[in-house]
Amino acid sequence: MPVVSRPHATIHYEVHGDGPPLAFAHGAGGNTLVWWQQVSHFAQRYRVLTFDHRGFGRSGCEAGHEQARYFAGDLAAALDDAGIARTALVCQSMGGWTGLQLARQEPSRVAALVLSGTPAGILTPKVLDALRTVVAAAPQFEGTAAWNQPHPALAADIFERDPDRGFLYAQLAALNPPGALARLALAEVMTEPGALADWSIPTLLIGGEHDRLFAPAALEEVAAAIPGARFVRIPRVGHSPYFEAPDAFNRAVAEFLAAHWR
């Protein structure tokens, strides 16, 4: 699979399918592999690019250079290497910081933006409250919990409804190096709502009804801060609707893309 060199890092990415480009940016509990239910669906119509953030999955990173300030440039480099000048972006949790920063730095490259389970660094009052929960949950993102203990990126009842999926997520998360989330310095890529006054990129926010990190109310507040954005709530699931309810998630994304990116 392709690897692109970046300052202090190597970025692993994959491309599948053909059509309008569509890139996916994973969250702190994930890596390229977590999009297995999206790649097979969207590659039938789009040219799908997935990648591992530096320090996650199969992307290498020198110690001390894992910070999120590099993420947008890393994604841009992967897009360049793949010959993609403009794309739609689907971003989960931590990946929202990547997508929003790329859209702000190079708006001509982002045709449409989907933010799933993420405020993308936009600081609203409810997001500030939620970030305290994220910080407290950070050690659990290393995937070292008991096999039947729900990962914080999933609904609390995942092992009652779908134990196989709950176990698989924990296994995928455990492939990331320990402590990755704690080294990201996300505060460096926060965005004040007022900085988005001239925002014109079509934007969709998706949230899980039982998200334990960023509740729907917080994401609705973020959507209200982004000009033209709308919010879709996926029932019964937690922080990772793309993983827990792929049919509903894929349908929401497909409908959005059909209106904004063909």
Q: Distance between CA 49 and CA 16 in Å, rounded? A: 7
Reported pTM: 0.95
Domain harbouring 14, CATH code:
3.40.50.1820
* pLDDT of 149: 82
Q: Report the number of distinct structural domains present in the chain.
A: 1
Q: How much is the pLDDT for 138?
A: 67
Give pLDDT, residue 148: 77
The conformation of residue 70, written as its DSSP 8-state character, comes to G
pLDDT mean by block of 10 residues, the chain; 262 residues: 94 98 96 97 98 96 94 98 98 97 98 98 94 74 67 93 93 83 83 96 98 96 98 97 98 98 90
pLDDT of residue 237: 97
Q: How would DSSP label each residue in 147-187?
A: TTSPPTTS-TTHHHH-HHHHHHHHHHHTTSPTTTGGGS-GG
Range of the domain at 25: 3-260
Contact assessment for residue 261 and residue 20, using Cβ atoms and an 8 Å cutoff? yes
